[in-house]
């Protein structure tokens, strides 16, 4: 039998054992964003006609939380295992690089979805319930978590120290997620920055995910799906190539 289920289970158990830090904390953070921004902007900003600012913000916050936590799960698990040295426990058994990839990716996706669901549930008190388009919602949620889970694997393998991973997170992941239309529509930006935003794949994830909730978006959700799928394929191919080569894992 394959060792994949055991590695997936281990990764799930790892974040579940510290759920206060890995699930509850990000939900609370998202809630704070919601309270502050919706309080300040609710009366002044209407991004899409007929959509309150809070209703606009919620999908963005849910998506941002999913992105950051999916990334965090695989990257922090790997860097911790590497620093501790217990990465040998998964390198010694007969696990293939594909099984390795799927286990870490699967757990990252689940963590992202659990946090996303948590954020959504607590924000229901603040935004009126609207039936989302489940198909778009699931497609974007899964793709977003998978893309970030895979990037997290790359970052976790690449980083040799915690501060390198922190740099990756602070200078790449955080700006990409913040500057992607979580809090605003990119149509409110000057043309130059609009152009830049279109080059940010995270923008499409948030835009498409928001479409699933409010039925309006800056770009066609099918285009976003295409961009996200292409991103996932590219980043997965890179991750698998790194794992196959043994980069920084098998010397």
Partner 1 sequence: MSQASPAIRVSDLRKHFGTTQALDGVSLDIQPGEFFGLLGPNGAGKTTLISILAGLTRADAGHAAIMGHDVVRDYRQARRALGVVPQELVYDPFFNVRETLRIQSGYFGLRHNDGWIDEIMHHLDLAPHADKNTQSLSGGMKRRLLVAQALVHKPPVIVLDEPTAGVDVDLRRSLWEFISRLNREGHTILLTTHYLEEAEALCGRIAMLKSGRVVACDTTRNLLQLTNEHCAQLRLQGETLPAAWQTRLQHDADGSWRINFSEYADLETLLADLRGAGIRVLEMQLQEPDLEDVFTDIMKRT
* Residues near partner 1 (CB under 8 A): 1-3, 5-7, 9-10, 13-14, 17-18, 81, 84-86, 88-96, 246, 250-251
CA distance 69 to 188: 28
The CA angle 16-121-109, to the nearest 5 degrees, is 45
Q: Cβ 15 to partner 1, closest distance in Å?
A: 9
Q: Name which of 44 and 251 has its Cβ closer to partner 1.
A: 251
Q: Name which of 193 and 247 has its Cβ closer to partner 1.
A: 247
Instruction: Label residues 67-86 b or e (16+ Cβ within 10 Å = b).
Output: bbbbbbbbbbbbbebbeeee
Which residues are CB-neighbours of 36 under 8 A, at least 6 positions away? none
CA distance 61 to 30: 6
Q: Cβ 92 to partner 1, closest distance in Å?
A: 6
Q: Name which of 10 and 133 has its Cβ closer to partner 1.
A: 10
Q: Name which of 86 and 170 has its Cβ closer to partner 1.
A: 86
Q: Cβ 94 to partner 1, closest distance in Å?
A: 4
For residue 118, the tally of other CB atoms under 10 A from its CB is: 21
Q: Name which of 110 and 206 has its Cβ closer to partner 1.
A: 110
Q: Cβ 1 to partner 1, closest distance in Å?
A: 4
CA distance 56 to 183: 8
Dihedral sign, Cα of residue 163, residue 169, residue 171, residue 172: positive
CA 71 to chain centre: 6
Q: Cβ 22 to partner 1, closest distance in Å?
A: 11
Q: Name which of 22 and 55 has its Cβ closer to partner 1.
A: 22
* Short-list 161, 147, 173, 149, CA closest to 228: 147
Q: Cβ 119 to partner 1, closest distance in Å?
A: 24
């Amino acid at each position: 039998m394959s060792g994949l289920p055991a590695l997936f289970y281990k990764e799930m158990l790892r974040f579940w054992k510290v759920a206060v830090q890995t699930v509850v904390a990000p939900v609370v953070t998202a809630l704070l964003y919601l309270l502050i921004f919706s309080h300040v902007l609710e009366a002044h900003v209407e991004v899409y006609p007929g959509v309150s600012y809070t209703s606009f913000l919620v999908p963005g916050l849910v998506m941002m939380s999913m992105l950051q936590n999916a990334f965090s799960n695989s990257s922090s698990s790997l860097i911790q295992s590497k620093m501790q040295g217990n990465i040998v426990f998964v390198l010694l058994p007969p696990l293939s690089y594909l099984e390795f990839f799927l286990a870490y990716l699967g757990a990252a996706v689940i963590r992202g979805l659990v946090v996303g669901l948590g954020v959504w549930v607590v924000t229901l008190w603040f935004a009126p319930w609207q039936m989302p388009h489940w198909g778009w919602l699931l497609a974007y949620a899964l793709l977003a978590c998978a893309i970030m889970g895979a990037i997290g694997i790359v970052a976790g393998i690449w980083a040799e120290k915690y501060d390198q991973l922190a740099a990756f997170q602070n200078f790449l992941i955080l700006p990409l997620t913040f500057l992607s239309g979580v809090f605003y529509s990119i149509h409110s930006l000057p043309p130059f920055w609009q152009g830049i935003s279109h080059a940010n794949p995270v923008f499409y994830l948030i835009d498409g995910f928001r479409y699933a909730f409010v039925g309006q978006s800056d770009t066609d959700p099918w285009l976003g799906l295409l961009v996200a799928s292409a991103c996932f394929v590219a980043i997965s191919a890179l991750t698998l190539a790194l794992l196959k080569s043994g980069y920084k894992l098998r010397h």
